[in-house]
Amino acid sequence: MDALLNHSSLQKPASYAALEKPHPDSSPLARYRNVPNFTPPSPLAQAVAQARFSTTSTRIDTPVNIRLPQNSACLALIGAGGYKNRDPELSYFLLDETDDYGFCKEVSIPCGLLEVAYQIDMDPTRKLIYVADSDRIKSYWYDGKKHGAKHTLNPKGDGPIMLVENGSKLLRAGRSGVDMWNVDTLPDHGPDGRKKIGKGKVSIEDSWRDEEAYVEPSTGTAAHASVSLHADAIQPTTWSLLPNGHMIVSPKNKYSCWTADLESGLKPVTKFIGHGGPVSGFSTSPQDPNSFLTSSDDGLARLFDIRQPLPSISFDCGSSSERLRSALYVYVEGLPLVITGGMKSECITVWEPRMKTALYTLATGNNSVSSLAWDAPRSTLFAATECEYMDRLGYHHDYRPAKIPRSPYNKTAFGEWYGEKEHSDDDENMEDEDDADDEDEDDDEHFWPERAYHDEDAFGYTFDSGDHRLFRYKFGVDVDSKEVPEYGDARPSNGDW
């Protein structure tokens, strides 16, 4: 029986001060929906259930997607940058190294595609990142110190890509079939990454890139083999491999998904129904090989058992009124969790599916969530987020003076109470002797989006990202929950709003 779990209606949430904290070290960047009344199976699982984490972030280009294979020490990100977001941007983050600001070390790779890449996959064994636009697929090798162009492929289709057989084969779906390449026999760009692959030269006349000189001209290698789509199959828009080895496919312009195998031309085997919009992604967990999670444009995540066509649980992430671009199904030392990222609700929600409840939501600094990734070895959640209040030229719109509430976290972060030039240490306890002094006052240095889903007092710590950011939420028993991101520089360069 399908159970629908509601997030909340898209109304302004209550003040953070009215919420109950499950643990003294619970992060001020978490709003507690339901304090856990169960005993998690391990100390780490308990820390995750109680929102004990530290948070850091870094600025990124407009995010498209992130990719983090299991047990990888590297996370890859594709985005849109340059003038009016016309250029493909590719970078990777070394999860065991830090930069000067305490975030994972970032390495940028020049991307030679004609347009912004919307498909990405990653082979941590061969140290290859694959990215694709509508015309070509390119791979880039990396080792943490060096990187360069490796392959260029010339597909017939423009659908999703997927690595199979431990990265030895690459697939790309199209309208009529699926192209396949044997990776280990592909010609490459040589040691310097400049050798041309394929006959002829790609046309750059229709490219919208800001700098056409950055486009790599190789036409690429044609597919080694192709499988025609079955008569009952439709071009996939997203797909994934299930733990049992079968593919799960979401067809174009259809509100369903199915299991299939490549040899049959993606012929539907078992259909799964119940979606109210196109499926935007899948998530699986090795600890539960009989289940998979879908995210959908109807605003719901659905947990399916592969043995029945209807979802066992549905998670309403925004009262069915917002797109859901990313959702995760993970296990933390025996504790199952569903993690969803909101667009309009501008937050991340952590659910406990067995308890059929939302535990808490995580602040993203008024950013919508584009993509999520779970780093199991480091007990870390990554979220690529987009600031909807900044346009493609980098200008901010629809901001008002912020009303920063008094809280111990805000004082710790900024060093003084807002609205006062001086403040005594004796006032640490925020005494209510003078109600007028306790009221929030406009701040002429920081600003807040007028259309933000959350007000300034929704979380214990107040911050606005002010730009696109990659967030890192690191969970643990001994983490410093007071480690929070800095307030974004939400002020355009020319001072105009």
CA distance linking residue 202 with residue 437, whole number of Å? 66
Shared domain for 316 and 404, answered yes or no, is no
56 or 2: which leads in pLDDT:
56
Q: Is residue 442 part of a domain?
A: yes
Which position has the higher pLDDT, 8 or 6?
A: 6
Q: How many residues does the chain have?
A: 497
pLDDT attached to residue 237: 94
Picking from 489, 486, 484, 467, the residue whose alpha carbon sits closest to that of residue 29 is 484
Q: How confident is the model at residue 421 (pLDDT cuts 50, 70, 90)?
A: very low
pLDDT tens, position by position, 26-47: 999 999 887 777 788 899 999 9
Higher-scoring residue by pLDDT: 108, 438: 108
Out of 322, 355, 386, a domain closes at: 386
Report pLDDT digits (tens) over 472-487: 999 999 888 778 787 6
* 290/346 same-domain check: yes
Band the pLDDT of 118: cuts 50, 70, 90: very high
Task: Answer whether residue 32 is part of any domain.
Answer: yes
Mean pLDDT of all residues belonging to the chain: 87
The answer, yes or no, to whether residue 425 has pLDDT greater than 80, is no
Lowest mean pLDDT: which of 3-12, 169-178, 204-213, 251-260? 3-12
Q: How confident is the model at residue 429 (pLDDT cuts 50, 70, 90)?
A: very low
Whether residues 240 and 129 fall in one domain: yes
Q: What is the pLDDT of residue 488?
A: 62
Residues 448 and 305 in one domain: no
173 and 301 both lie in a single domain: yes
Residue 359: which residues within 8 A CB-CB, separation 6 or more?
32, 33, 34, 36, 49, 51, 350, 351, 352
Name the band, by pLDDT with cuts 50, 70 and 90, for residue 208. confident
Residue at 33 is within a domain:
yes
Instruction: Tell whether 416 and 378 lie within a shared domain.
Output: no
Is residue 303 within 8 A of residue 293, CB to CB? The reply is: yes
- How many other CB atoms are found less than 10 A from the CB of residue 96? 11
Mean pLDDT throughout 99-121?
94
- Determine the average pLDDT of the residues in 402-412: 79
Same domain, 358 and 415: no
pLDDT, residue 317, reads: 82
Q: For residues 129 and 81, state if they share a domain.
A: yes
Question: What number is the average pLDDT over the span 361-388?
Answer: 96
Q: Which domain holds residue 348?
A: 3-386
pLDDT at 289 exceeding the cut of 60: yes
**Residue 402: pLDDT above 50?**
yes
The answer on 427 and 311 residing in a single domain is: no
Given 327, 356, 386, the domain boundary residue is 386
Number of domains present in the structure of the chain: 2
Evaluate whether residue 497 is within a structural domain.
Answer: no
> Is the confidence at residue 125, as pLDDT, over 90?
yes
Query: Residue 100: pLDDT band by 50, 70, 90 thresholds?
Result: confident
- Helix/strand/coil (H/E/C) assignment for every residue in 37-104: CCCCCCHHHHHHHCCCEEEEEEECCEEEEEECCCCCCEEEEEEEECHHHCEEEEEEEEEEEECCCCCE
Answer yes or no: is 490 within a domain: no
pLDDT average, residue stretch 67-86: 94
Domain assignment present for residue 493? The answer is no
The confidence score (pLDDT) of residue 322 equals 81
Q: Is 162 exposed, middle or buried (0-12, 13-18, 19+ CB in 10 A)?
A: buried
pLDDT higher at 418 or 197: 197
The pLDDT score that the predictor gives to residue 493 is 34
- Picking from 364, 386, 408, the residue at the C-terminal end of a domain is 386
- On whether residue 409 sits in a domain, the answer given is yes
The predicted model gives 403-424 an average pLDDT of: 59
Give pLDDT, residue 218. 94
pLDDT at 438: 45
pLDDT given for residue 483 in this prediction: 80
| pLDDT at res. 437 | 43
- Residue 72: give its domain's CATH number: 2.130.10.10
Question: What pLDDT does residue 2 have?
Answer: 54
Task: Supply the pTM of this predicted model.
Answer: 0.91
The predicted structure's pLDDT at residue 204: 83
Q: Over 90: is that where the pLDDT of 119 sits?
A: yes
Same domain, 81 and 187: yes
Coil vs helix vs strand at 17: helix
Residue 293 lies in a domain: yes
In this model, does residue 442 exceed pLDDT 80?
no
- Residue 412's pLDDT is 60
Q: Is the pLDDT of residue 215 over 80?
A: yes
Judgement on whether residues 382 and 262 belong to the same structural domain of the protein: yes
Higher pLDDT, 330 or 429: 330
352-355 contacts: CB < 8 A, separation 24 or more?
352/36, 352/38, 352/49, 353/303, 353/313, 355/34, 355/36, 355/38
Q: Tell me how crowded residue 208 is: count the other CB atoms within 10 A of its CB.
A: 14
- At 38 the pLDDT is 78
d(CA 166, CA 477) in angstroms, rounded, equals 34
Note the pLDDT tens digit of each residue in 225-284: 999 999 999 899 999 999 888 899 998 888 999 999 999 999 999 999 999 999 999 999
- Answer yes or no: do 341 and 450 share one domain: no
Q: Which of 7-16, 161-170, 330-339, 379-388 bottoms out in mean pLDDT, i.e. has the lowest?
A: 7-16
- Whether 3 shows a pLDDT value over 90: the answer reads no
